[in-house]
Chain A
Amino acid sequence: DAGITQSPRHKVTETGTPVTLRCHQTENHRYMYWYRQDPGHGLRLIHYSYGVKDTDKGEVSDGYSVSRSKTEDFLLTLESATSSQTSVYFCAISESSGGEKLFFGSGTQLSVL
């Protein structure tokens, strides 16, 4: 299995508080992605990174920011969590952007009360 670690695995927080989720990889892959998964919506891309300090928005980026200061770490921040951000968050990595495999982490279950 690809070396991807997401932390925390579970988190419960209150509306309005900041939350940061971490994705750590040991594969030295260039591309990293954050998805959220909700019933009825499948997996939706939030943000992605194509290198250190290089990031771009995905399909559902509002309310989220990301940072990548090192190849191995990709952080997802909810500046002020809302109940609509209750979801399962998955990090994924790939070597390149075309025709390559995506490797996923185990996910973070986030509940915003």
Chain B
Amino acid sequence: DAKTTQPTSMDCAEGRAANLPCNHSTISGNEYVYWYRQIHSQGPQYIIHGLKNNETNEMASLIITEDRKSSTLILPHATLRDTAVYYCIAGGNTGKLIFGQGTTLQVKP
């Protein structure tokens, strides 16, 4: 699976959009980009995933660059409950995804 690089931490004001970047420059053609988050001591929660096209669901939007070497997760209106560790993962086999250290997002009032 491709290695991903994320900032260690980010802050966001409540009600504003949170844009979380991820670099995956070695991603191969059949590998997806997944985003999960983990709220303190809970199990990781699936957010969104995509292969080539941008994706949107009720939780977030995923923007993947045309060369697929990077992506951005967008939480359109961050709330305090969005404070969590966000994992960006690039991989092809669902169960063998490598969860790295992620980005700790702190949403502030």
Contacts and interface: CB of A to CB of B under 8 A. Distances in A.
A102 B51 contact: no
A48 B93 CA distance: 12
Given A90-B44, A107-B42, A107-B43, A102 B94 contact: yes
Contacts, number: 55
A13 B45 CA distance: 29
A43 B44 contact: yes
Nearest to A49: B95
Contacts of A98: 92-94
A97 B93 contact: yes
25 contacts: A33-B95, A42-B100, A42-B102, A43-B44, A48-B95, A58-B96, A88-B41, A92-B95, A94-B94, A94-B95, A96-B94, A98-B92, A99-B32, A99-B49, A99-B51, A99-B92, A100-B94, A101-B46, A101-B49, A102-B46, A102-B97, A103-B46, A104-B43, A105-B43, A107-B42
A51 to B, nearest CB: 13
Nearest to A33: B95
A31 B43 contact: no
A17 interface: no
Interface residues of A, number: 23
A106 B39 CA distance: 11
A27 to B, nearest CB: 13
Contacts of A112: none
A104 B100 CA distance: 16
